[in-house]
Amino acid sequence: MTNDRETKKSTMGGDEREHRRLAMTLAAVLFLGTFQLGEGELKGDYSKLSGIIIPGFASTQLRAWSILDCPYSPLDFNPLDLVWLDTTKLLSAVNCWLKCMLLDPYNQTDNPECKSRPDSGLSAITELDPGYITGPLSSVWKEWVKWCIEFGIEANAIIAAPYDWRLSPSMLEERDLYFYKLKQTFETALKLRGGPSIVFAHSLGNNVFRYFLEWLKLEIAPKQYIQWLDDHIYAFFAVGAPLLGSTETVKGMLSGNTFGLPVSEGTARLMFNSFGSSLWMMPFSKYCRADAMYLKHFSGGIRKGPNAYQCEQKEFQSNYSGFSTNIINIEIPSTRGIDAYPSVSEFSQTNYSSMECGLPTQLSFSAREISDGTFFKAIEDYDSDSKRTLHQLKKSYHDDPVLNPLTPWDRPPIKNVFCIYGVDSRTEVGYYFAPSGKPYPDNWIITDVIYEIEGSLVSRSGNQVEGNPGPASGDETVPYHSLSWCKNWLGPRVNITRAPQSEHDGSDVQVELNVEHHNEDVVPNMTRSPRVKYITYYEDSESIPGKRTAVWELDKANHRNIVRSPALMRELWLQIWHDIHADSPSKFVTKAKRGPLRDDDCYWDYGKARCAWPEYCEYRYVFGDVHLGQSCRLRNSSADALLHYV
């Protein structure tokens, strides 16, 4: 049955008219219909909407903008050659490849011999390394774009906003005018299509979009800011957003994270630490905030001075800065005594596991102590890269004139916000480091890892670890505490629904209505079947005035592949389909049942010797079908089933 569903391909022929009816129904009024915006609602058709995709870290192709001769290799770099990601050149000419990838760690300039720039268009984000084998392995947004095409979306309605993911936020604007161009992209989409855009951001792309919203405040008069957002942005879908940072960033900065590339961890660390964006994803405390250096427009003038970084009392009363455990535990030689760490003199003695002469000292650091630079000052004498990190941290983050990105998110001032992420995968939340005895970049090794797994903390050896685990775990890359921060954006009362990710008849749907919410995590009292993957929806029952917020948690959806999840793509389309109908009785699409929407969703039920979901699917052979499941197709009347989602 699984093979039937996976190997099915669309067959063009006369019978495909029925399949196209569904696509035409979803885009039924590509040239007809009206368009109105109410309070957080879209009425009419979505033929005037645009979709703007902001990809995540390492999810945009980079191309060479230089001529670089690579000795001892038959492959050179010429203008427009693919750099990120060309695994052939990475394997055959790694030193040349690194020259095109590395940036100056202090000023973020290119190597004198080679520079790289982000590609443009949808092709820049669909497959990073196109090819028969490498293409599927490096696919990011390709399946998402295929869904758009299958549902009849116009080519000019999907717009990619690729960027150089190596740069810090301020350098994106300084070097590439990225945020200025992004503003123009929204304005062009409005003029071209006649309606606002839907923003789809993944991973670091959410941080980029947050910075854009703050940058926009300095470009638009205060009285016009909200109006501009209402005119140009209908909804924001934040997918896999590291709202409080990611602990994996720490591993990449200290020991290197290869992300599956055929390079050593030391090389990966050297490359990662040359990127200004590496600090953008550092974990930080949910209790500490900083004021912008320039409060242009809103303060009635310009105030200059250092950012005021203030923490709530909870930061010092609770452990771990709102995370589940200390993120870094590191051994440092203590032969020089406590005077070797003047930057951590305010630490209490409990931060030291041993002060015996000649024995290593173990220091523990929370998210706050990482993001404010305390950790890097503590290891400055033992790590040659710490000075660079402190310089970049102060220049590009703490003193950023637009926003200190290492501070908690407030709900974006957009009418419709959907926060979507995966849960209940094993996720790294803490590390134990020790000196390796080797020079930089291999001077630290990981001696142990702490994971969060479905509400508990365990070490790499499988032992239970004390801490403050959440009710669930993260998405393999970002911890649950960071992903779920957006639950604070929900209104005072929340409706919670848990339903299977696959098509279902509603028998396994659980609902809790009007759950009180006080700007904290919301945990449902619901059961789970161990063999079923669920989506848990948290949706405003009582909204913030003029706003609509929802949080979707997808079981076992990992960070990278969530944008390729069929369940996620189905829910996106159904929610938009629901929104365009003026007679919709509810603010959100019903979760009562989910039937097949595409031919690919139909399959052969060998137990009953018929196509599964007979009310939606039927057996209809088309020349070229090679198995029974491929001949299961949507019924002629299946388009009418969409009326159930209004």
Catalytic: which of 66, 138, 203, 285? Answer: 203
What is the side-by-side order of every strand in the sheet holding 444-453? 361-365, 328-332, 427-435, 444-453, 456-459
Catalytic: which of 339, 345, 348, 518? Answer: 518
What would the two tokens of residue 193 be?
């299509």
Whether residue 501 contacts residue 555, with contact meaning beta carbons closer than 8 Å, is answered with yes
Mapping DSSP to helix (H, G, I), strand (E, B) and coil, where does residue 566 land?
helix
What would the two tokens of residue 234 be?
């209908």
Residue written as token pair 């209940």: 424
Catalytic residue status for 203 = yes
How far is it, in rounded angstroms, from Cα 204 to Cα 166? Answer: 11
Angle (CA) 631-565-193 rounded to 5° is: 95
Catalytic: which of 475, 555, 579, 600? Answer: 475
Task: For 307, list phi and psi in degrees, rounded to 5.
Answer: -65, 135
| Cα R_g (the chain), whole angstroms | 26
Whether residue 255 contacts residue 447, with contact meaning beta carbons closer than 8 Å, is answered with no
How far is it, in rounded angstroms, from Cα 353 to Cα 141? Answer: 47
Alpha-carbon distance values, 29 to 15, 45, 410 (Å): 23, 6, 36
Helix axes 169-176, 178-193, angle to 10 degrees: 70
β-bridge partners, 535: 499, 554
Mapping DSSP to helix (H, G, I), strand (E, B) and coil, where does residue 451 land?
strand
Task: For 257, list phi and psi in degrees, rounded to 5.
Answer: -130, 110
Catalytic residue status for 517 = no
β-strands 604-605, 82-84 pairing: unpaired
- Establish whether the linkage from the previous residue to 500 is cis, with ω within 30° of 0: no
Catalytic residue status for 505 = no
Run of H or E residues at 42 = strand 42-44
Catalytic residue annotation: 203, 475, 518
